[in-house]
A and B are shown apart, each in its own frame.
Chain A
Amino acid sequence: MQIEQQLSEIQNVVDDVLKMALSKGATQAEASMSKVQGIAVSSRMQEVENVEFTNDGGLGISVYVGKRKGSASTADLSKAALTLAVEKAVDIARYTSEDPCTGLADAELIATEFPDLDLYHPQELDTEKAIKTTIETEAAAMNYDPRITNSDGASYNANLGMRVYGNTHGINAGYPSSRYSLSCMVIGSQDNDMQRDYAYTVDRQAPLLKSAAFVGQEAAKATVDRLGARKINTANVPVLFHKDLASSLFGHYVGAISGGSLYRRSSFLLDSLDKQVFPEWMNIEEKPLIKSGLASSSFDNEGVSCSDMTIVDGGRLATYLYTTYSARKLNTVSNGHAGGIHNWIVGDTGHSDADLLKEMGTGLFVTELMGQGVNIVTGDYSRGAAGFWVENGIIQYPVHEITIAGDLRDMFKNIVAIGKDKDVRGSVQTGSVLVNQMKIAGN
């Protein structure tokens, strides 16, 4: 079936569901539906391990009866299940309370233009070719160094899907998208030490994935570099967050400036609009319409139009992130963040990674973070870490079994440099981040 035809079929289902909701007593309704087909193939020790054919779909509906809301969802897309979902949602709205802030997004904010963001690059789901790729990836890793002694496997995923959103203001829009990824994790041994690490590549266009050899070698190099890791003493030192995990710092920032955290007074960045939270040289731009971007979309999960936005301007908190509900709770309007953020580009200081190590001098280069020890209410940050001890800008030896801790407010203010080489594989694109001081706990 042609993709346009599939898309219009899904739009018809969404339309039917919305009509059904109105006929059953809803005064407003919104529905989203997705369908994703794909393959997930893995190899281990250069033999095929799993071949999975994935086929996921679902419909979620929210209905509003006056100012009461009810929601339902179903992964079963039969007519009977869709009808039951609508009935349940309407039924639930009899029991929820009147809430003046509830309801669809404001009609004037709903997207009316749907530019082609070039998110769909279909390719035949060829399991044989995928198997060949994963085996090549693992081979590249296993042959990289004799200390690579075992493998946790390589996997290739390809997904072709579509997403449709509609509501009773009249929007019923959707788009197809594709996503391909290749990853590898191997195990290295030396004396009594056993370590693992991984590498991955992801893109909307399969031909733009990094090569099997590249991914395998990256995984192997990361693994052997960790062998012989030791603990270090408890100390206050500068910390350089590798670009692959530096985006997590901005993930905590997202949590702290989200409307939901603000109206619940559960953020360490309350009442901070226009305040200096990062150094003056720092900017963050949000660009939802990047062609082929992994987090691109012209409208959010409530149909609100997304556009370019300055998130951090000269280090100042330029905007909070609102959904329709959180905006109304805070007497403002949505800025298109239902469902999360869209392609943040974090400004840099022009340093290469080698320059950043030099800039740090002596300190910790973090390449892995563990656990969830981040408190968005208070800003307290304490996570497990592994990486490398650096002296005079030169990596000395791998370290592990330590924690790094601080207060996110201080950590953000104390960012002294950000690398120009960015990790572009997620919704936040940033280089490595140097924080001038944190507490390391070790021996």
Chain B
Amino acid sequence: MSKSVERHLLSDSGLDITKLESALATIHRHDTDYADLYFQSSQHESWVLEDGIIKEGSYNIERGVGVRAISGEKTGFAYSDEISEDALMKACKAARGIAPSGGTQQVSALDEKPLTARYSENNPILAMQDAEKISLLRSVDAYIRQQEPSVNQVVVSISGVYEEILVAGSDGTLATDIRPLVRLNCSVLLENGDRRERGSSGAGGRYAYAFFQSDENGKPLYENLADEALHMARVNMQAVAAPAGAMPVVLGNGWPGVLLHEAVGHGLEGDFNRKGASTFSGRIGERVAAKGVTVVDDGTLSDRRGSLSVDDEGTATQHNVLIEDGILKGYMQDKHNAKLMGVAPTGNGRRESYAHLPMPRMTNTYMLEGQHDPQEIIASIERGIYAPNFAGGQVDITSGKFVFSSAEAYLIENGKITAPVKGATLIGNGPEVMQKISMIGNDVALDKGIGVCGKDGQSVPVGVGQPTLKIDELTVGGTA
């Protein structure tokens, strides 16, 4: 166990492992099956450059403990922004109120299992001097203005998070984790007469800010991000109205994997399936996607935004195959839903903070690659859309309907990419669209590390990815 995490979250507040065991025992004096304590301390900073000046800087502190007591399908939950023995016991007594007194469950001695670290423990906020963070922002701004002197607005921001967590469960689970996370975003606005268009890009992951200065294809990464934002704005300046109706759609590799996140990811979360609320409920072993489609959720990838060494319930993350060659293989589980469904947890129990209950969530969700050259995929289409970049999406897991909105897209005419088209929402039905995937590219990529997933009001960082894909028919919500 990280000694520093144990010191910051426990001993500095007069707590130790024995006191955690007795807190858990307090809960088990009521008729509960499982209980856990989640200690968290995090620091978050952000810096914003706008109008060529460093306009904003902010620093945020969060610290507290959440206590959960489970009895059958019922959960009691309480938390405190103060870490102390008194506050902990008070929260334990509130949470155990979910069940009547007279429990028989014993607390197992807390025992830590070895974990494989998936990222560094360094604090990104301290790893770079503030002056150097400022100069990084200025470099991005200067590069953009040099590339496009007529640019109207440039906004560049960086943010860094350093988080320590400790989770103790009545089944003996004991785990700590240190989770760094950084992000850089840039946004530009081009203006020409009455026409204005924005372009944006971003990247991030569980490393230090120096990542943004690292070389990518012979340039610092931040220059590539700036190029990407400018490219999107320039393309959109030329965009014509998007078509309306059902047509073939080619999705680019990487970030367009938001398709998988919406079309199948949420629908394969264990809670929805335990409740029979998902369009994928009860369909394990059935064909839910075209042959050749293999989708995984993998929290173990090094340094990725959606990666975790251990989930928020103390379960090590895994490489989970969700769909294999088109057949539904399994759901993503937290402890509670796994137990109720009689399966093992998969390392997908996540929570926004100590003040939120854990639930099954995605980590990095992506599709494995296929055989086709991306050019060959484009060439196969007479009239359709090529969409290499997206904004967010949303899904109704019960009906299976999902949407995602293009941020950069083009017409495909007679096998060739032609005019750029304005942003449009694409809508489909998850299981149907997955069966209409007819060509899978040989160019799998993960996104650059900007995904935020929202569920029940809780936000967590996630990753997505895929190769270039051809979907035979998807409804494109343009105006033409």
Interface residue? A336 (CB, 8 A): no
Report whether A370 and B396 are in contact in the complex, using a CB–CB cutoff of 8 Å: yes
* Cβ–Cβ < 8 Å partners of B339 in chain A: none
How long is the Cα–Cα vector from A238 to B73 in the complex, in angstroms?
A: 47
Residue A166 lies at the interface, judged by CB distance under 8 Å to chain B: no
Q: Cβ of A421 < 8 Å from any Cβ of B? A: no
* Bound CA–CA A196/B277 (angstroms): 9
| Interchain Cβ contacts within 8 Å, total number | 249
Which segment, of A23-31, A132-140, A281-289, A435-443, faces chain B?
Answer: A435-443
Q: Given A69-B56, A370-B403, A377-B196, A439 and B428 touching (CB < 8 A)?
A: no
Q: Does B215 contact A (CB under 8 A)?
A: no
B405 to A, closest residue via Cβ: A373
Whether B355 and A54, one on each chain, are in contact in the complex, defined by CB atoms closer than 8 angstroms, is yes
Query: A70–B477 contact, CB under 8 A?
Result: no
- Give the residue of B81, B134, B357, B425 whose beta carbon is less than 8 angstroms from that of A403: B425
For B97, the chain A residues whose CB sits under 8 A away are 51, 127
Contact A443 B245 (CB under 8 A): yes
Q: Is the CB of A373 within 8 A of B403?
A: yes
A199 within 8 A of B: no
Query: Which residues of chain B come closer than 8 Å to A76, judged between CB atoms?
Result: 61-64, 81-82
Interface flags for A358-393 (1: CB within 8 Å of B; 0: not) read 000000000000111101011010111010000000
Q: Given A81-B63, A443-B245, are A150 and B54 neighbors across the interface (CB < 8 Å)?
A: no
Q: How far is the CA of A53 from the CA of B422 in the complex (A)?
A: 46
Distance to closest chain A CB from B183 (angstroms): 18
- Measured between beta carbons, the chain A residues less than 8 angstroms from B275 are 44, 150, 152
Q: Evaluate whether A375 and B423 lie within 8 angstroms (CB atoms) in the complex, with A76-B61, A370-B394 already known.
A: yes
Chain A minimum-CB-distance residue to B276: A150
Q: Is the CB of B475 within 8 A of A92?
A: no
Interface-side segment among A1-9, A94-102, A115-123, A204-212: A94-102
Q: Is the CB of A53 within 8 A of B94?
A: yes
A326 to chain B, nearest CB (A): 12
**In the bound complex, do residue A373 and residue B425 qualify as a contact, i.e. CB atoms below 8 Å apart?**
yes
Q: Cβ of B398 and Cβ of A50 under 8 Å apart?
A: no
Give complex CA distance A55, B480 in Å. Answer: 51
Contact of A371 among B47, B62, B73, B403 (CB under 8 A): B403
B479 adjacent to A439 (CB under 8 Å): yes
* Whole-angstrom CA separation of A194 from B246 in the bound complex: 23
* Closest partner residue, chain A, to B399 (CB atom): A195
* B73 contacts A75, C-beta separation under 8 Å: no
Q: B332 interface residue, CB < 8 Å from A?
A: no
Chain B interface, number of residues (Cβ within 8 angstroms): 77
- Whether A372 contacts B55 by the Cβ 8 Å rule is no
A47 in contact with B73 given A76-B64, A266-B198, A441-B478 (CB within 8 Å): yes
Is the CB–CB distance between B189 and A266 below 8 Å?
Answer: yes
Q: Nearest Cβ in chain B — how far from A368, in angstroms? A: 8
Give Cα distance in the complex from A441 to B249, angstroms.
Answer: 15
Instruction: Determine the distance from Cα of A88 to Cα of B60 in the docked complex, in whole angstroms.
Output: 9
B405 & A372 in contact (Cβ 8 Å cutoff): yes
> Is A96 a contact partner of B61 (Cβ separation < 8 A)?
no
Q: A88 to B126, alpha carbons, bound, how many Å?
A: 13
Cβ A386 vs Cβ B475 within 8 A: no
* Residues of chain A within 8 A of B191, CB atoms compared: 265
Interface centre among B47, B80, B424, B429 (most CB of A within 10 A): B424
Instruction: Decide yes or no whether B242 CB sits under 8 A from chain A.
Output: yes
Q: Are B394 and A384 in contact (CB under 8 A)?
A: yes
B246 to chain A, nearest CB (A): 6
Which residue in A51, A84, A439 is a CB contact (below 8 Å) of B98? A51
| Residues in A166-193 with C-beta less than 8 Å from chain B | 187, 193
Which of B50, B277, B279 has the most C-beta atoms of chain A within 10 angstroms of its own C-beta?
B277
A52 to B76, CA, bound (A): 6
Which of A76, A382, A406, A439 has most chain B Cβ within 10 Å? Answer: A382
**B423 close to A382 (CB less than 8 A):** yes
B77 at interface, CB cutoff 8 A: yes
B277/A377 in contact, CB under 8 A: no
A307 at the interface (CB under 8 A from B): no
Of residues 28 through 75 on chain A, the ones whose CB sits less than 8 Å from some CB of chain B are: 44, 47-57, 69-75
Query: Which residues of B from 323 to 381 have beta carbons under 8 Å from A?
Result: 355, 357
Q: Chain A residues near B133 (CB, 8 Å)?
A: 95
| Binary contact readout B424-440 vs A (1 if CB under 8 angstroms, 0 otherwise) | 11111100000000000
The chain B residue with its CB closest to the CB of A223 is: B398
CB-based closest 10 A-B pairs: A403-B477, A97-B53, A384-B403, A92-B57, A371-B403, A373-B425, A441-B244, A373-B405, A88-B59, A71-B58
Q: Pick 19 A–B contacts, CB within 8 A, sort by A.
A: A50-B77, A54-B355, A55-B80, A69-B55, A72-B60, A74-B61, A95-B57, A194-B279, A194-B399, A196-B396, A234-B245, A265-B152, A266-B153, A371-B405, A384-B401, A400-B401, A403-B244, A404-B477, A441-B427
